[in-house]
A and B are shown apart, each in its own frame.
Chain A
Amino acid sequence: MLSLYVHIPFCAGKCRYCGFFSTVYTVEAADQFLKALGQEAFLLRRQFQDQVFETLYIGGGTPSLLSPRQITDLFELLKANFHFFSGGEWSIEANPDSLSSETFDMLLEAGVNRLSIGVQSFSDEELRVLGRRHKALRAEESVRQAQRSGFRNIGIDLIFGIPGQSLADWEKTLASAVGLGPQHISAYALSLDEGTIFSREAAAGALSLPDEGIVSAMYDKALDMLRGAGYGHYEISNFALPGCECRHNRNYWSRGEYLGLGPGAWSFVRGRRSSNCADICAYEQQLSGGALPTAYEESVGSTEAAAETLLLALRTGEGLDIRDYERLCGRPAAARVHAGAARLLGSGLVQIADGRIRLTARGMFLSDEVIERLWT
């Protein structure tokens, strides 16, 4: 399966937990960027002229900041250069503070059929701590508005483990989320990514994070409540009503191919992983000179492929198919992973059934440890 990712590097401001490259939105800057993006698509069109993209994901940044005209331009440039599967999943990320009914209509018209709303929390205090620019009420309204506009596939993102957050606070946010009835909920444990304001504050000792045991309990709570409400736990941080799993993201976890456009976007095409330069100026400069803005490129060898398969498959609810793994990297390597998993059976972190190795909920929250032990 082939997917297309487009990175829109604009935000209204910097959130304290976010390590993604973004710059402040202005109409001019976005126009200039879209021009470069068009150039990038144009340079790649021949390479992909015989291929069909099954999913499209517009991420960022905050794509919903684009003006209605810019949204039209964006989709036009994509459609002009690439072929898309007619029943494909087209997602876009949106922030509650930048959504209007006009935008919803534009998006629907452009062909977008899945909306991923960056709610993060339904507590005003937590939103403030995170550096978000919307209030809880606005978040709820934007979800309802999207539903009214006709979106049948809405996902909301939540964060837990926020400084000052208690288990009860998290429970409230989960209840609000479930109450809105979105098709998809992502619940991410807060991580202190490099380059974020949070990571600097943590290094300076100025961040009081909830205890690891509490964060672990929050994860359990999410599983408990979301499963109870009918959401399937199909990846470490992702829950969906049956049939509403994000196809685009699933493609990443099954090592499918994808092309990434925009600054800092990654591609995985024909066994090569590559990334664009993350800096928007350098990105535009390269393209204005007629060159692809590639910053990094590597060929994924068989050992690396095995490592990727292991670490990606074990993120998912389906787990790792031992037979598939054996076909990929040979019987001895598969046997080692199998034996490693068997050793962990007693720990309640791993299950082996139907020729698959799966992480339990606890195993998922310790997946970096568990995967490291299996990767020998």
Chain B
Amino acid sequence: MSSKEIRNFSIIAHIDHGKSTLADRILEFTGALTDREMVAAGKAQVLDDMDLERERGITIKAHAVRLQYQALDGVEYVLNLIDTPGHVDFTYEVSRSMAACEGALLVVDASQGVEAQTLANAYLALDHNLEIVPVINKIDLPNADIESTKKQIEDVVGLDAETAIAASAKEGIGTREILEAVVRMIPPPRGEEQGPFRALLFDSWYDAYQGVVVLVRVVDGEVRPGRKIRMHSTGAVCEVQSVGFFTPKMLQTEKLTSGEVGYIVAGIKRVADAKIGDTIMDAERPAVQPLPGYKDVKPMVFAGLYPMVSEDYEDLKEALEKLRLNDSSFTYEPETSLALGFGFRCGFLGLLHMDIVKERLEREFGMALIPTAPTVVYRVTRIGGEMVLVDNPAKLPNIQEIERIEEPFIIASIITPESFVGSLIALCQERRGIQKEINYITKDRVLIKYELPLNEIVMDFYDRLKSITKGYASLDYELSGYVESDLVKLDILLNSEPVDALSLITHRDKAALRGRQLSEKLKEVIPRQLYEVVIQAAIGAKIIARETVKPLRKNVTAKCYGGDITRKRKLLERQKEGKKRMKQVGSIELPQEAFLAVLKVGE
């Protein structure tokens, strides 16, 4: 097989625009999966293989499938379809998947038009010099508007949509046209067949039987079992045990050569040793240059995860270890909270990533967790010039020791129906946003760009955005850098004792409001107790808000005779179960919601 007959491409789309369904149709059409196998696979979307991915309708892990396609020109092509994660948290992974391709299908829902992630993904593809083939999907829907969608692709994304393919992945309309366009429009891979081996590692996962499986795009040379390979970023050397590709069944081959996409199994123990974006070389004949674009991805959002019951600490640790095997972008390290005891400070790529990890811990490992409010990483420069990274508000140095604090900012791109523009601008302003751009992309849809502090986003920005716009607006964002800000630590005191797990870092101008809102919310969620609970919000020694949860004065069963005894006893047993969901902090019993109260402010 010559690399002239190879096409490497991915599908990019806004969430729910039909990416996975199109992938299924392509698999079917090329015979990679028979109808029967589609059914036997027991799920509609073959490339999304984690329950959570299917439930949320998003793709978390990239996959690559090799397909045989007999084109109308009579040539049989090898198509490598590389599936990409579809969420802003995984932008880096998407970019590495794209770097493994020469082209991309840009899928746009004909009834929705261009959305924020359509734009973000298309720009990312352009950055990687990919040939973009626009596909207008869901044309079977009654409210599909092909012409308007085309116009949006041209006006907003800036692509020529003349050749856009009208399709319905659900109905199987346009699949051949799409495949023909892949073959005709996307260039074949280029590389040095005879050169020293170089491959881009664009995905990896842990397999209980084979260890780490890595997905690669071979750029130059070839790789075979028995060869020694070296990871450029870590210098780790290992021996190739097998190579091959997925059809989506795993098939072993003799070798992978320049232009091909496939897997390598090389006795790697941890996913952390197979970094996405890394260059794999021949250990004995290393290439001179690594491939461009490698980044060591750093978590952007941090939160504490504590076991509800302190005896479960070891179980939580084990569960985190297991998760990390398969998800190197997630980090954790032990931390101790005065209020919550032993737990872990965990780092995530973003809020969705955090939700996924939390849910997997609860669902797959049966953990009962207390998560603390998410925070970003602050750069704190102490007087004297030393810089520390602070990923836990409780760890912020004393105000007297701080020279300055910088916080991460992002550029948010929001696409919204025109009628919500006013409310969205108000939301962005309220979140300390700086307007960058407002553009009509059609007569009734608007692209808004704002520069915003990430710490305002992690609170509840996305939920607010969705509720303000009734779900119609879409959001994408990218990190724009660190900016010095006037930030302060807001402490929450319960009966005069600071509760470290409730501290947060906020802008000075918003501290009073946040403190008030948070105190009010806590008053709502903390049940009345035997003692009065005084909730105070403080900046340093200054109290800025105060609420009181009045003590219970009466909780008595006035009559307890014959049959009341059984009822009362059963009630006692039930109450005991309820108590397990409360965390004792000093003499105060706090429900799980208290630790996330800051996210619920304003609800």
Cβ–Cβ contact A189 & B569, under 8 A: no
Residue B292, interface by CB 8 Å: no
Residue B566, interface by CB 8 Å: yes
Min Cβ gap A151→B in Å is 22
Residue in contact with A349 in the complex, picked from B530, B563, B566, CB distance below 8 Å: B530
Cβ–Cβ contact B530 & A369, under 8 A: yes
Residue in contact with B530 in the complex, picked from A190, A275, A366, CB distance below 8 Å: A366
Number of residues from A at the complex interface, CB < 8 A: 46
Q: How far is the CA of A331 from the CA of B557 in the complex (A)?
A: 28
B552 neighbours in A (Cβ, 8 Å): 212, 366, 369
B554 neighbours in A (Cβ, 8 Å): 189, 212, 215-216, 219, 365-366
Known: A369-B552, A372-B579. A273 touches B558 (CB 8 A): no
Q: Which of A261-304 contact B (CB under 8 A)?
A: 264-268, 273, 275, 298, 304
Residue A234, interface by CB 8 Å: no
Residue A253, interface by CB 8 Å: yes
Q: Which of B519-561 contact A (CB under 8 A)?
A: 529-531, 552-561
Q: Who on chain B is nearest to A374 by CB?
A: B572
Cβ–Cβ contact A237 & B558, under 8 A: yes
A368 neighbours in B (Cβ, 8 Å): 555-557
Residue B385, interface by CB 8 Å: no
Residue B437, interface by CB 8 Å: no
Residue A213, interface by CB 8 Å: yes
A14 neighbours in B (Cβ, 8 Å): none
Residue in contact with B565 in the complex, picked from A189, A273, A364, CB distance below 8 Å: A273
Residue B398, interface by CB 8 Å: no
Q: How far is the CA of A9 from the CA of B366 in the complex (A)?
A: 50
Min Cβ gap A108→B in Å is 25
Cβ–Cβ contact A253 & B560, under 8 A: yes
A376 neighbours in B (Cβ, 8 Å): 576
Looking at the complex, which of A78-86, A174-182, A307-315 is the stretch in contact with chain B? Answer: A307-315
Residue A53, interface by CB 8 Å: no
Q: Which of A351-376 contact B (CB under 8 A)?
A: 364-373, 375-376
Residue in contact with A311 in the complex, picked from B531, B559, B562, B569, CB distance below 8 Å: B569
Residue A232, interface by CB 8 Å: no
Residue B395, interface by CB 8 Å: no
Q: How far is the CA of A348 from the CA of B572 in the complex (A)?
A: 22
Cβ–Cβ contact A252 & B561, under 8 A: yes
Residue B573, interface by CB 8 Å: yes
Cβ–Cβ contact A307 & B558, under 8 A: no
Residue in contact with A266 in the complex, picked from B553, B559, B566, CB distance below 8 Å: B566
Cβ–Cβ contact B565 & A298, under 8 A: no
Q: Who on chain B is nearest to A253 by CB?
A: B560
Min Cβ gap B310→A in Å is 15
Q: How far is the CA of A190 from the CA of B559 in the complex (A)?
A: 10
Residue B575, interface by CB 8 Å: yes
Q: Who on chain B is nearest to A252 by CB?
A: B561
Q: Who on chain A is nearest to B579 by CB?
A: A372
Cβ–Cβ contact B556 & A365, under 8 A: yes
Q: How far is the CA of A376 from the CA of B558 in the complex (A)?
A: 23
Q: How far is the CA of A250 from the CA of B562 in the complex (A)?
A: 11
Residue B568, interface by CB 8 Å: yes
Residue in contact with B572 in the complex, picked from A5, A237, A375, CB distance below 8 Å: A375
Cβ–Cβ contact A371 & B572, under 8 A: yes
Q: How far is the CA of A237 from the CA of B563 in the complex (A)?
A: 17
Cβ–Cβ contact A367 & B576, under 8 A: no
A264 neighbours in B (Cβ, 8 Å): 563
Cβ–Cβ contact A307 & B575, under 8 A: no
Q: Residue-by-residue, is A325-368 near B (CB-CB < 8 Å gives 1, otherwise 0)?
A: 00000000000000000001001010000000000000011111
Q: How far is the CA of A190 from the CA of B558 in the complex (A)?
A: 8
B553 neighbours in A (Cβ, 8 Å): 212-213, 215-216, 365-366
B569 neighbours in A (Cβ, 8 Å): 304, 307-308, 311
B562 neighbours in A (Cβ, 8 Å): 5, 252, 258, 260, 265-268
Residue A42, interface by CB 8 Å: no
Residue A100, interface by CB 8 Å: no
B575 neighbours in A (Cβ, 8 Å): 372
Q: How far is the CA of A277 from the CA of B561 in the complex (A)?
A: 17
Q: Which of A243-257 contact B (CB under 8 A)?
A: 249, 252-253
Q: Residue-by-residue, is A183-216 near B (CB-CB < 8 Å gives 1, otherwise 0)?
A: 0000011110000000000000000000011011
Residue of A191, A265, A368, A370 with most partner-chain B CB within 10 A: A368
Residue A117, interface by CB 8 Å: no
A344 neighbours in B (Cβ, 8 Å): 530
Cβ–Cβ contact B572 & A372, under 8 A: yes
Min Cβ gap A288→B in Å is 24
Q: How far is the CA of A253 from the CA of B558 in the complex (A)?
A: 13
Cβ–Cβ contact A189 & B566, under 8 A: no
B556 neighbours in A (Cβ, 8 Å): 189, 236, 364-368
Min Cβ gap B581→A in Å is 14
Min Cβ gap B25→A in Å is 55
Q: Residue-by-residue, is B47-66 near A (CB-CB < 8 Å gives 1, otherwise 0)?
A: 00000000000000000000
Min Cβ gap B107→A in Å is 52
Known: A212-B553, A266-B563. A189 touches B576 (CB 8 A): no
Q: How far is the CA of A117 from the CA of B270 in the complex (A)?
A: 79
Min Cβ gap B587→A in Å is 8
Known: A212-B554, A252-B565, A266-B566. A237 touches B530 (CB 8 A): no
Apart from A365-B554, A373-B530, 20 more pairs, CB < 8 Å: A188-B559, A189-B558, A191-B559, A212-B552, A216-B553, A216-B554, A236-B556, A237-B558, A252-B561, A252-B562, A252-B565, A265-B563, A267-B562, A268-B562, A307-B573, A312-B560, A349-B530, A366-B552, A369-B529, A375-B572
Q: List 18 A-B contacts (CB under 8 A).
A: A5-B562, A188-B558, A190-B558, A191-B557, A252-B561, A252-B565, A307-B569, A307-B572, A311-B565, A315-B560, A364-B556, A365-B554, A365-B555, A367-B556, A367-B557, A369-B530, A369-B555, A370-B530
4 closest A-B pairs by beta carbon, nearest first, are: A266-B563, A266-B562, A216-B553, A188-B558
